[in-house]
Structure 1
Amino acid sequence: MTDSLIHPKRLLYAGFTAILATGIGFAVRGGILDNWGAEFGFSATQLGVISGAGLTGFCFGIFVGGLVVDSIGYGKLIVASFLLHMLSAVVTFTATAGMDTAIAYQWLFWGTFIFALANGSLEAVANPLVATLFPENRTHYLNILHASWPLGLVLGGAVGWFLDDRMNVSWKWQLAIFLIPTIVYGIMFMGQRFPKSEAAEKGLKLGDMFKDVGLLGGAVIALMLFLFFQATFPAIPTYVLAIAALALIFVIGKITSFALGSIMLFVLFGTHILVGAVELGTDGWIQNITGSILSSEEGKFLFVITSLTMFVLRFCAAWIEEHLKLSPVGLLLLCSVLAFVGLNLSSGIESFKGAVLALLIYGVGKTFFWPTMLAVVGDRFPRTGAIAISIMGGLGMMSGGLIGLPGLGYAKDRFASEALQEEAPAIYQEMKAVDSNSWLFFEPVAAIDGKKLAEARSQEIPSEVQQTLIDSSLKGDRKTLRVDSLIPATMAVIFLGLLIYFRRLGGYRRVDLDN
């Protein structure tokens, strides 16, 4: 940077540490889902919704942050994020054993939502900041920034393995670990001077920055917000939410003089919704699923291995692009294929060694999705400043919370229940939960009771009925992974289309506002 008072590397690693805190919190939550299920009697769908709040809240933080960051400055958003992280811990820890299930659900949901709100505000700072600091090599440095996410997953998974499986420490102490990097990032950002985005530096107004988003991008945002409020506040009439969604599209149209928006950006937004669903949704459940198929300890260990692989590889994005002669879009296509293969292999694992191979293939596949998608938007749509990158991140997180986590939880419930009904209808009637769970427009399902399943798994020698219950749950887990693999398969088709499109244009190139 030309401004000697700006320290790019310190800002890069301050952002790195901030995202590290979010990764640790996410991983620990994924590892204590079974604790919450056993302690409060939640179904997999309920756990998925609570865990999903750790992503949907992110969307609001990054949407609002992306809109205001160039005008109010990065520092104020960082202070707000720090305070929200602290508040999230207080709210979450209010849930205690013996509390009414419905009340505990609310404390855990909103504590997790506030945590995500803090995370979103932070990424509204970190993503455009790094894209601005390193404009010539965004893919490389955004991958370094987001290498902290898998490192957080490694540390959070290790915390769960040691404190939970080895020492049986309370889930509250496990989750509190994320407060350590939270304090560190606050110190690292303290007193720093920040640059402005390329668009803000050139004096572009909000309407100019929003034109590439336009009505098409606005429709995607409105749809995801509609689904969020419908799922979170079911008492609000659907027509009210529909009117609000249309009003939002109109406001965006008014701001942009009713510009249609870029079709490519519209496609990228939709594709990143798939990225959020498969990457974040799978990450949130994979410890639970592999732990059920093998053992809880092995599930956490596998999670650490794949996350560590992801951490190391994110430092190699520039090398891979250079030596394999891959454009960012080509890299995304390769990753989609690997993720599809890895998830299918994971659905059939029988041994720890087989699981390591399957999850390593999946782990390599998911490594470059998120930061490379952000880099593509930064390269191709610099006129949007921080807005398009922030919307992209928000849509991905919202998707993980609305589609990935609860969707996989619903799939687990549905497929396990169907397997038990087919195998032993009488046992299903005895073991099913009292209330049914639904998700989006899919039919309600009466899941296997979480407490009864946890009790069956805790037995050294399960009874015949308990073993039937366990076997049905495993069948549901395996089928869930197979269905999950269809998401990266769809992404591969989209990236192949984009690759063909860019080749017809003469190759992938970064857009420069000066030209």
Structure 2
Amino acid sequence: MSSATSPGSSPGTNEKILFWASFFTLIAAGIGFSVRAFILKDWGNQFGFTQSELGAITGGGLVGFGIAIIFFSFCADQFGYGKLMLVAFLLHASSAVVTFAATPVFNAYGKEGAHWCLIIGMWLFALGNGTCEAVINPLTATLFPRNKTHWLNILHAGWPLGLILGALIVLGFKQAAPDVRWEIKLGVFLVPVLLYGLMMFNKPFPHSEAKSSGVSLGTTLLTILSPVLLFLFLMQALVGYVELGTDSWIGNITERVLQDETKALLAFIWTNALMFTLRFFAGPIVERINPVGLLFASALLGTAGLFMLGQDFTNATWPWMFAVTIYGLGKTFYWPTLLGTISERFPKGGALALGISGGIGMISAGLLGSPGIGYTQDYFAVQKLKETSPAAYARYKAPDASGFPVFTSITPDQFPPVAGLDNAKLKVFDDWGGVIDPTDWKRKEGKTTTLESDLETVERLEKENKPVEKSLKENLTGLIKWWDAEGRPNYATDKDKLAEARLYGAKQALLYTAVVPALLAVGFLLLILYFMMTGGYKQIHLHDTHPPMEEY
């Protein structure tokens, strides 16, 4: 059994290895999420998936992530961190195996088999990420009991680093090997998975702070019901909404505003590089203003950044970059600092308190944040287009209306269902706009459009006697007929109106999302006042010695 270091001394070798192994788990998660976003087109082309089907494959990511965090947090104190990390490693490895099986399964059983491989692979990956998150947060708090917030911020610098690496990996393959298969691009995430597996193998893990102090499960559950902790859980739900929900859309919106894919990617890399760097400096900041003060300042910056992004003056590149920098500064410290606050103030909550908090944030992002921001874009884009060109709205209107999840069912008057703009038609509009000859297959710089590529995929599958859904081919050919009959003849009159409406919807979505960090600012201000009235913010310790190490 390894010797433990005292809280006041420098962390020992074992602590450092476990911490940096935890860091690599978030790099693996970031790379996996980032690369998957870029290879969706490859999956669509190879297997003949529609955009809706691709959305169904990726949709379970954040929700599965959140569910896994909460579920495995119940097990962390009982079974130990080492055993759960073995589960996480197996989930990550099996997600790769199942996902890579999509091609041979497609060749043997067709599109439906590949669809299930990718869905199951996505859920296994999300469950692996959630299991890691259930372990690494309380593990870090246990390894560094006197500097929890500082080290949790450093730990979570691994997530933006993974996102950056994923983007750079795709760009690197695009330049050096543009025809490389998607399996190779995605397989890179296994490198940090293998690293954290090797680093944690046969290492002694500490018991959680709560378990080593003899805190019973009943005490932990009573701690969870503390009014202040429940309020912090509510703050975490808002953090998940504004941070991860906005992040899922900000790249798409940036490309819409700046009308340049490269600039949008550079903005994405810049904000994540900013977050990665600043999270290493949370400790000195916390020493001056305490974690709640840092969260309050972050909420003010996040509100200001999103408010500016929603204004017309940020439609140019440099004003947009300035505003997105302010937004990036605001979101940098949200997640890890809030987890640090929970661990510092409620150590009897153990791994369960941290797991519930992280799970609530992820579920909020998956069920409310991402779809809510999408709904807001639809709502305001439709309003604008109805005002400027009802005929254009009639041409591009989606067949079905959708609402703001949860809120539409509760208050349908405030959040009515909206038939937004049909993304399939908008994609044709973007790819084929301005083309006079409908038989011209080379629409943009000699490239085949997405719709044409989808049709070529269907035709190839038919020639190979592989199953193709009848409705898929009908939808694709129907889009071409619609474009020739309605889209192309009205392109000149619809172009500016559609662009104006889509930009307006995107900007208004960010403007209204600024309400969420404003609510966070109010909440954190209330916490500052609460701690002022109760003797100030103080970290609570359950013991004065480093917890004993658990052999694994």
Residue in structure 2 matched with residue 444 of structure 1 by the alignment: 417
Contact 2:153 2:280 in 1 (8 A): yes
Distance verdict in 2 for CA 1:476–1:93, change over 3 Å: farther
User: Which residue pairs with 1:212 in the alignment?
Assistant: 223
Q: Does 1:139 align with 2:132?
A: no
Cα gap change, 1:484 to 1:377, in 2 (>3 Å): same
Say whether residues 1:332 and 2:263 are aligned partners: no
Secondary structure in 2 matching 1:184: helix
SS of equivalent residue, structure 2 residue 51:
coil
CA distance in 2, matches of 1:75, 1:354: 48
Residue segments in structure 2 that go unaligned for 5+ positions in a row: 6-11, 409-415, 436-490, 545-552
- Percent identity at matched positions? 43
Residues 1:42 and 2:51 are matched in the alignment: yes
Give 1:370's aligned residue.
335
User: What's the offset of the Cα at 1:78?
Assistant: 1.5
Q: What CA deviation, in whole Å up to 9, does each residue of 1:79-138 have, x standing for no partner?
A: 221222233345556778999999987665554333221111001110111100100010
1:81 is aligned to 2:88:
yes
Aligned residue number for residue 204 of structure 2: 193
What is aligned with 1:347? Answer: 310
CA distance in 2 between counterparts of 1:112 and 1:102 reads: 15
8 Å contact kept, 1:70–1:200: yes
Query: Does the Cα contact within 8 Å between 1:335 and 1:368 map onto a contact in 2?
Result: yes
CA contact (8 A) 1:62 1:124 kept: yes
- Asked whether the 8 Å contact 1:160–1:300 carries over to 2, the reply is no
Q: Is the 8 A contact 2:393 2:421 kept in 1?
A: yes
For 2:419 and 2:99, how far apart are their aligned partners in 1? Answer: 27
- How much has 1:514 moved relative to structure 2? 4.8
Pair 1:120-2:85 in alignment = no
Range with bigger deviation, 380-389 or 105-114: 105-114
* Letter of the 1:448 counterpart: L
Instruction: Identify the match of residue 352 of structure 2 among 387, 400, 406.
Output: 387
Q: Number of matched residues?
A: 464
Moved more, 175-184 or 278-287: 175-184
Say if 1:51 and 1:405, in contact at 8 Å, map to a contact too.
no
Q: Is the 8 A contact 1:60 1:120 kept in 2?
A: yes
The letter for the 2-side match of 1:200 is K
Closer/same/farther in 2, CA of residues 109 and 446 from structure 1, 3 Å limit:
farther
| Per-residue Cα deviation, 1:269-299 (whole angstroms, up to 9, x for no partner) | 0000000111111111111110122222211
The 1:52–1:387 alpha-carbon spacing in structure 2 relative to 1, beyond 3 Å, is same
Is 1:27 equivalent to 2:37 in the alignment? Answer: no
Deviations 1:310-346 (A, max 9, x none): 0000000112223xx2110000000001011111222
- CA distance in 2 between counterparts of 1:418 and 1:100 reads 42
Residue aligning to 1:507: 536
Contact residue 274 and residue 487 of structure 1 kept, 8 A: yes
2:153 pairs with 1:152:
no
| CA distance in 2: counterparts of 1:474 and 1:33, whole angstroms | 24
Distance 2:262 2:282 in 1: 31
- Partner Cα separation in structure 2 for residue 173 and residue 280 of structure 1: 27
Alignment partner of 1:422 is 2:387: yes
Larger-Rg structure: 2
Q: Which amino acid aligns with 2:4?
A: D
Distance in 1 separating the partners of 2:129 and 2:344: 24
Any unmatched runs of 5+ in structure 1?
214-260
Cα distance in 2 between the residues matched to 1:104 and 1:468? 39
Q: Is the 8 A contact 2:213 2:543 kept in 1?
A: no
Residue in structure 1 matched with residue 468 of structure 2 by the alignment: none
Map 1:92-491 to 2 at 5 A: 92=99, 109-163=119-173, 167=178, 173-213=184-224, 261-294=225-258, 295-322=260-287, 325-348=288-311, 349-438=314-403, 439-442=405-408, 443-459=416-432, 461=434, 463-464=491-492, 465-491=494-520
Indicate the SS of the match to 1:435: coil
Which amino acid in 2 is paired with 1:3? A
- RMSD over aligned Cα, in angstroms? 3.0
Q: Deviations over 1:458-497 (max 9, x none)?
A: 3575742345333322221111111111110100000000
Matching residue's letter, 2:281: C
Contact 1:92 1:112 in 2 (8 A): yes
